[in-house]
Amino acid sequence: MIFLFGFNTAAADEGRLANQRHKDTKRSLTLEQAQLQKARDAMASTNERNKEILANSTAGDWEGEQREKAKLHFKARESRQEKYLREAKEAAAKDRKIPDSR
């Protein structure tokens, strides 16, 4: 009799343990899914912030603006030099009459 009573208790304990194991597995899966979702949300918000920062940094690209200004100044200086050179060539090509001072 003691043996049967012990067997029934062991069977009942096994049933409770299986039930508890099932509950723990479900809870573990639920927690894992929640953590994965939090990680996805954090990654999405980080990516969004990075895009905003990149958009703001390229919009106010100071170095690029300075480069463009330098290009414009260089082209203007180059065209002025070409103009002066052209005028000098034209002036040199003209016939000059030197008045007689006699």
Q: Tell me: pLDDT of 11 over 90.
A: no
Give the range among 3-12, 35-44, 86-95 with minimum mean pLDDT: 3-12
pTM here? Answer: 0.42
Which pLDDT score is estimated for 58? 66
Q: Which range marks the domain in which residue 18 is found?
A: 1-60
Residues 6+ apart with CB under 8 A from 16: none
How far apart (Å, rounded) are the C-alpha atoms in residues 11 and 19?
12
Provide Rg for the chain, Cα atoms: 44
82: amino acid identity, one letter:
E
Mean pLDDT of 9-19: 80
Which pLDDT score is estimated for 1? 46
Do residues 46 and 68 both lie within one domain? no
Predicted confidence (pLDDT) per residue in 46-99, tens digit = 999 999 888 877 666 788 889 999 999 999 999 999 999 999 988 888 877 666
Say if 101 falls within a structural domain. Answer: no
Do residues 4 and 19 both lie within one domain? yes
DSSP state of 60: T
Structure tokens, 54: 């990149």
Alpha-carbon distance values, 72 to 62, 75, 78, 101 (Å):
15, 5, 10, 49
